[in-house]
């Protein structure tokens, strides 16, 4: 099984169109990796990812992790992620096959995404999830390979 380098980028907006555009920017050949989603402390199940994104846009304290598998095998980006934080933000992510954030090719690919998102902060790590809070994410990035 391959190892993955994960790249994460903080965004202030939870706008569902930004999420949709980000996923489509990476690949138009994706599939969500979950069939349904628990929200409202497990009291509600949402089966449609677009309805979920609208719900998350309106409920800024709701934490949710979304993963899409990239079905385009030629793409360097194998997974696309959107982590909704408990303080109304999103941490976008991509996973690429690799062993080290120090790989210059992976860094270049990550910087392209950072530029596309116009994110002020980004970092790279090896198979490690980001925290569910933007302040904690800033500290998380300081302790990892930070993209400048």
pLDDT in tens, 31-57: 999 989 999 888 899 999 999 999 999
- C-alpha to C-alpha distance for 146 and 148, rounded to whole angstroms: 6
Which pTM value belongs to this model?
A: 0.95
**85-113 pLDDT per residue, tens:** 999 999 999 999 999 999 999 999 999 99
Domain residues for the domain of 27 are 4-147
The DSSP letter of residue 29 is S
Number of domains in the chain: 1
Of 130, 119, 63, which Cα lies nearest the Cα of 95? 130
**Residue corresponding to tokens 């489509």:** 24
């Amino acid at each position: 099984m391959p190892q993955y380098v994960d790249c994460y980028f903080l965004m202030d907006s939870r706008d569902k169109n930004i999420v949709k555009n980000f996923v489509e920017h990476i690949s138009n050949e994706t599939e969500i990796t979950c069939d349904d989603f628990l929200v409202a402390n497990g009291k509600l199940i949402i089966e449609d990812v677009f309805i979920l994104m609208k719900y998350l846009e309106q409920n800024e304290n709701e934490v949710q992790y979304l993963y899409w598998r990239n079905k385009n095998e030629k793409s360097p980006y194998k997974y696309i992620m959107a982590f909704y934080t408990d303080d109304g933000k999103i941490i976008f992510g991509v996973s690429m096959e690799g062993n080290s954030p120090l790989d210059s090719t992976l860094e270049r690919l990550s910087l392209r995404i950072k530029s596309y998102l116009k994110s002020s902060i980004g970092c790279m790590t090896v198979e490690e999830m980001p925290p569910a809070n933007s302040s904690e994410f800033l500290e998380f990035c300081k302790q990892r390979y930070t993209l400048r």
